[in-house]
Amino acid sequence: MSRPIRIAIVGAGPAGIYAADALLKSDSAQEPGVSIDLFERMPAPFGLIRYGVAPDHPRIKGIVDALHQVLDKPQLRLFGNVDYPADIDLDDLRALYDAVIFSTGARTDRALDIPGVGLDASYGAADFVSWYDGHPDVPRTWPLTAEKVAVLGVGNVALDVARILAKTADELLPTEIPPNVHEGLKANKALEIHVFGRRGPAQAKFTPMELRELDHSPNIEVVVAPEDIDYDDGSIAARRGSKQTDMVAKTLENWAIRDVGDRPHKLFLHFFESPVEVLGEEGRVVGLRTERTELDGSGNVRGTGSFTDWDVQSVYRAVGYYSDELPKLPFDVVSGTVPNTAGRVLDGGEHMTSVYVTGWIKRGPVGLIGHTKGDANETVACLLADHAAGLLPDPAVPDPDAVVKLLEQRGIRYTTREGWYRLDAHERSLGRPEGRERVKVVDREAMLDNSGA
């Protein structure tokens, strides 16, 4: 083949950019080379980093520096503000590229099947995260009238939600939060945040750094009940088998034995409490009912039949993310993933020619951001092996300019890599007078205007 291998990647978050990086580092990138087009539904790249990581985590956002190094490669183009399948679909992509990799992630909340989740003031964590991260497709305001709040889940997202609710608006002002989010948080009335996990400290999914950061705020008093520190044989084995699990357990133990201080906002971490119902009156949340659980020896828990009603006025469900179904691709509704083997999409057990997945749409929303590198390497290795074996048919229109003409014919107002850098510079200029790294632009039209689209 005298022309470069042309690859479309749908989704320009970490998973998609890591896949591009793996392609560019492969032997195939030498001769005849690799040409990659990244398609992203948002006007700006970086997905989860921009719209899923709490604004007070600058160290995690530092991953953007590494992603930029990939985005800057001349073999790669960015087409932002292009939606799959509304603007470009699978048939279009197959006609233009040798292969397509979907890295669309997971952006909605996994369902929690208990009574009362549909009440007013019962929220999905993903929606709240999108609001405080300035996602352009969500409302600009958020009701923060509850003084006592429940957060369901013991993963890092639950901690992010609890921490944002417990901090003051001024604590978060030095971050990149948009003005509407700062104004909303200034009206926040939350004084007590209760985080609930149905299992014990050794089964919590927090990372040690995320957990310890809760205690860094001068306004947040973290409280752990001594009776919630309990381990069985399965829990002890989990601690011995994982340094991170052991560090989390030790941190929680230390908090459980200390005296409660006088910081104004209390953040309670409850273990062995399984949510069974969101309580409501007149269609609105007035409480949460949990069942006390106990360890069964294996690290799992069983119900005790003892129930507690907690006085809270809002509930946030942080029980996991769920991927959107992708038209023209198979979808497993239970796992929320596209069926695949090592990244090769399977339709009825057969590999769907030239179609691949990576990241959360491939394996589900588990693990840290860096774990998607392994996913990308595996998927790319399969794609290149299929190409070497002659299993990828030539695209009908391999001309790199064809996709540009297609988008322009359809009237799609798309952004480019250069446009992203213009928007990036504009956001940084907004933050500079206040000594902030940036102030994020929220409105989609404003993002497009500042990108020069």
Instruction: Specify which residues 280 forms β-bridges with.
Output: 285
Alpha carbon distance 354, 343 (integer Å): 11
Q: Reply yes or no on whether the pLDDT at 145 is more than 90.
A: yes
The mean of the pLDDT values for the chain is 95
Alpha carbon distance 107, 40 (integer Å): 14
Q: Reply yes or no on whether the pLDDT at 367 is more than 80.
A: no
pLDDT of residue 27: 73
429 CB neighbour count, 10 Å cutoff: 12
Q: Tell me what percent of the residues of the chain surpass a pLDDT of 90.
A: 90
276-313 burial string, b = 16+ CB within 10 Å, else e?
ebbbbeeeebbbbbbbbbebeeebebeeeeeeeebebb
Q: Reply yes or no on whether the pLDDT at 155 is more than 90.
A: yes
Task: Name the pLDDT band for 185 (thresholds 50, 70, 90).
Answer: very high
pLDDT of residue 1: 56
pLDDT of residue 63: 83
Q: Reply yes or no on whether the pLDDT at 374 is more than 60.
A: yes
| Of the candidate ranges 45-54, 78-87, 136-145, the one whose mean pLDDT is the lowest | 45-54
Q: Reply yes or no on whether the pLDDT at 408 is more than 80.
A: yes
pLDDT of residue 30: 67
218 within 8 A of 167, measured Cβ to Cβ: no
Q: Reply yes or no on whether the pLDDT at 35 is more than 60.
A: yes
pLDDT of residue 29: 63
> Mean of the pLDDT values across residues 355-369?
89
Task: Name the pLDDT band for 380 (thresholds 50, 70, 90).
Answer: very high
> Mean of the pLDDT values across residues 274-296?
98
Q: Reply yes or no on whether the pLDDT at 109 is more than 90.
A: yes
pLDDT of residue 402: 97
Q: What is the pLDDT of residues 337-358, one digit of tens each?
A: 999 999 999 999 899 999 999 9
293 within 8 A of 305, measured Cβ to Cβ: no
Name the token pair of 124: 């999905």
Task: Name the pLDDT band for 371 (thresholds 50, 70, 90).
Answer: confident
CB-based burial label for 406 (10 Å; 0-12, 13-18, 19+): middle
- The two counts, helices (H) then strands (E), for the chain are 17, 18
Alpha carbon distance 15, 371 (integer Å): 9
pLDDT of residue 66: 85
Residues with Cβ < 8 Å from 388, sequence gap 6 or more? none
Instruction: Specify which residues 314 forms β-bridges with.
Output: 149
pLDDT of residue 365: 87
CA 36 to each of CA 33, 48, 75, 451: distance values in angstroms, whole numbers, following the listed order: 10, 21, 6, 21
Q: Reply yes or no on whether the pLDDT at 284 is more than 80.
A: yes
Q: What is the pLDDT of residues 242-278, one digit of tens each?
A: 999 999 999 999 999 999 999 999 999 999 999 999 9
pLDDT of residue 291: 98
Q: Decide: helix, strand or coil at residue 56.
A: coil
Q: Reply yes or no on whether the pLDDT at 64 is more than 90.
A: no
> Mean of the pLDDT values across residues 140-162?
96
pLDDT of residue 429: 97
pLDDT of residue 58: 72
Which pTM value belongs to this model?
Answer: 0.94
Q: Which domains does the chain have, with CATH numbers?
A: 5-107+323-414 (3.40.50.720), 109-321 (3.50.50.60)
pLDDT of residue 59: 72
pLDDT of residue 241: 97
Q: Reply yes or no on whether the pLDDT at 2 is more than 80.
A: no
